[in-house]
Amino acid sequence: MDEKSKQLKNHTKDSGEKLTTNQGVGINDNQNTATAGERGPSLLEDFIMREKITHFDHERVPERIVHARGSGAHGYFEAYDGCDDITKANFLKKGKKTPVFVRFSTVAGFRGSADTARDVRGFAIKFYTEEGIFDMVGNNIPVFFIQDAIKFPDLIHAVKPEPHNEVPQAASAHDNFYDFISLTPEAMHMMMWVMSDRAIPRSYAMMEGFGIHSFRFINKAGESHFVKFHLKPKLGVHGLVWDEAVKIMGNDPDFHRKDLWEAIEDGHFPEWEFGVQAIKEGEEDKLSFDVLDATKLWPEEEVPIRMLGKMVLDRNPDNFFAETEQAAFHPGHVVPGIDFTNDPLLQGRLFSYTDTQLIRLGGPNFAEIPINRPINPTHNYQRDGYMRQTINKGRVNYEPNSLAEGKPAEVPEDKGGFVSYPEPMSSVKVRKRPESFKDHYTQARLFVNSMTPPEKQHIIDALSFELGKVEHKHIHEKMVDHFNHIDHDMAVAIADNIGVKPPKSSAANEDYTKTSDALSMEKGQKDTIEARKVAILVADGFDGAAVETLTKYLKTQGAKAEIIAKKLGAVKAADGSIMEVDKSLPTVDAVLYDSVFLPGGSDSVKTLKEQGAILYFVNQMFKHCKGIAATGEAIEILKASDIKDVNYSDKDLKEDQGIVTAGKTSDDFFKAFKNAIKKRHWSREEKQDMIPA
């Protein structure tokens, strides 16, 4: 058990046997309020009722203005070989293991909104280091909409539900947002990311994390490097398609939350590699962009990522409110070896986050809430305030002092005291953006250039959908003009979709043809199906041997199979064996699974192919470009569906467009099915209109 878990254990308790008040008084009757007679008025003196109702009235703290919808988990970070050459941060020394708590979130929606809305995802990590708390407060996208924090209230006001009718919830497809964005060219790079499939991840464990800002690393020699934080998921980066995400919102709005919880409970611990891009101070001017501009990324081909360790999430919270909801993150929580830069968006966040915690968590003592406490002891002269938990002994609450012998005393730098980097400064006071911040289209073009054709089409589709919800034509025209500065073909396609006159000529820098494979989800896929979910559709008389062997194979690959039938209970195989049904057909949907397997068995197939819900399930799997497999007689189910122009075989192994068929399961069948599960089969998108699902 790590140090943070031990600390939290001291604040964790089971329910116990005796019911008491918060003051420890035993409660004899928890069913009835004290009254003046059996039918008389309630008595104000009933302290049990008053305590219970008062606590209930105050159980909800204000939700976060942004990142309200979130999920969290405990884990650890383990450093690799060390990086003393660029930072003196103790938790990054070779082999060091540090407890962490991670919170994932959407940005725009309220706390009760759905997980799969198109949105940025928060990715915040609290490192409980031996030198204090370090918070990496980032997102799953490496850049942001704005360059200066003074515009943050405007951005969030614009993307939130419109104030006159509180519509729409957890969505950016409305006039206020696009009115603001159309007048904010610096947002165009971020818009390409948010309209890509990265904005609707398959799971938290399948998305990258980024620190967004340029921070500093300081080594023992006092040398400074600009750094960007990165987290690369072990499972690769995967997204949902929009139609799938919309259906999940209605079928299971807690899709990501449940996926994270169940993965950890099942022992499939989410894992990322943590690393940095580093540029020695003084060399940043060699780059074509300003490292202080949060709307710009550092292409990995120009500045490679140096992996510093791995992060694993292996324990779910014991109480959602006490841990996940009360976790207070802050980009200003740093340790020796990490320091700030003059990024104007970061500078504003350093003020905003403390201010936010004061209103959310009741005052300046939010650091004393167990989930927020560092694992190393804290000593200072701060006293009092709402929710103070520490009982400080002695008379001295000021410094310097002689009555307590000057203790606690300041800590020298060589003993771990934090010392700010002595950055030289000499300038006049202005309200002005630097010239180096004014290129708003080049990196947006880099992102679009780096997409595969299906990925680029998804951006066009997303922007066409979003702007299709916008009522004002002048906003349409302004946005198409911005797109024309990024990619002419994209601008023409979107203009055609939303009824705007397409631009005649390109305003983009057509000579800029650079690409970055690191920006494409499709180009970075990994050979794994770990944490994927496979639906097995059965009825009485199914091929039990095929289900058993496939289930065992999937387990060896870290994937999860669920047997689905019309109703819960037991289902009988053709050989007479019995299997328990995991989910009933009315409670699930194809969008909740990564692939489907249809086992043979004449009686089972005869029953299934006559059920509209089964055919709809298969149709959706095809429409969403997911892996499909069938053996023996089950090919008849595929033929009964709306899937067309696919080659099947009920004897020899056949793989066509991510659909695997064979007479029976085999090692080659398993390998082909794994390949079908691990990726989307985008060639099917041309046939989507044929599928009434």
CB-CB contact of 308 with 275 (8 Å): yes
CA dist 439 and 290 (Å) reads 10
Which residues neighbour 568 within 8 Å (Cβ) at sequence distance 6 or greater? 581, 583, 584
Query: Per-residue pLDDT for 380 more than 80?
Result: yes
Whole-number CA gyration radius for the chain: 28
pLDDT category at 53 given cuts 50, 70, 90 is: confident
- Better-predicted residue by pLDDT, 398 or 77: 77
Task: Give the pLDDT confidence score for residue 55 in this predicted structure.
Answer: 83
Task: Give the pLDDT confidence score for residue 427 in this predicted structure.
Answer: 84
Task: Give the pLDDT confidence score for residue 460 in this predicted structure.
Answer: 98
Task: Give the pLDDT confidence score for residue 255 in this predicted structure.
Answer: 98
Q: For the chain, what is the mean pLDDT?
A: 95
CA distances from 581 to 18, 259, 612 (A): 40, 20, 20
CA dist 423 and 56 (Å) reads 50
Q: Is 30 designated active site?
A: no
- Region 447-452: mean pLDDT is 98
- Region 668-687: mean pLDDT is 96
Query: Per-residue pLDDT for 693 more than 80?
Result: no
Phi/psi at 469 (5° precision): -90, -10
Task: Give the pLDDT confidence score for residue 498 in this predicted structure.
Answer: 98
CA dist 632 and 635 (Å) reads 6
Q: Per the residue annotation, which of 67, 476, 485, 624 is the catalytic one?
A: 67
CA dist 682 and 693 (Å) reads 17
- Better-predicted residue by pLDDT, 117 or 356: 117
Task: Give the pLDDT confidence score for residue 241 in this predicted structure.
Answer: 97
pLDDT category at 228 given cuts 50, 70, 90 is: very high
Query: Per-residue pLDDT for 344 more than 90?
Result: yes
CA dist 238 and 595 (Å) reads 14
Q: Per the residue annotation, which of 74, 139, 330, 681 is the catalytic one?
A: 139
Query: Per-residue pLDDT for 153 more than 80?
Result: yes
- Region 141-167: mean pLDDT is 96
Cα 338 from chain centre: 24
Task: Give the pLDDT confidence score for residue 68 in this predicted structure.
Answer: 97
- Region 229-258: mean pLDDT is 97
CA dist 203 and 238 (Å) reads 8
| Interval 527-580: pLDDT, tens | 999 999 999 999 999 999 999 999 999 999 999 999 999 999 999 999 999 999
**First CA to last CA distance, the chain:** 49
Q: Is 330 designated active site?
A: no
Task: Give the pLDDT confidence score for residue 418 in this predicted structure.
Answer: 94
Q: For 107-111, 406-410, 480-484, 668-672, which range has the lowest pLDDT when averaged over its residues? A: 406-410
Which residues neighbour 560 within 8 Å (Cβ) at sequence distance 6 or greater? 266, 268, 531, 532, 533, 534, 554
pLDDT category at 624 given cuts 50, 70, 90 is: very high
- Region 585-613: mean pLDDT is 97
Token digits of residue 478: 């302004």
- Region 608-614: mean pLDDT is 96
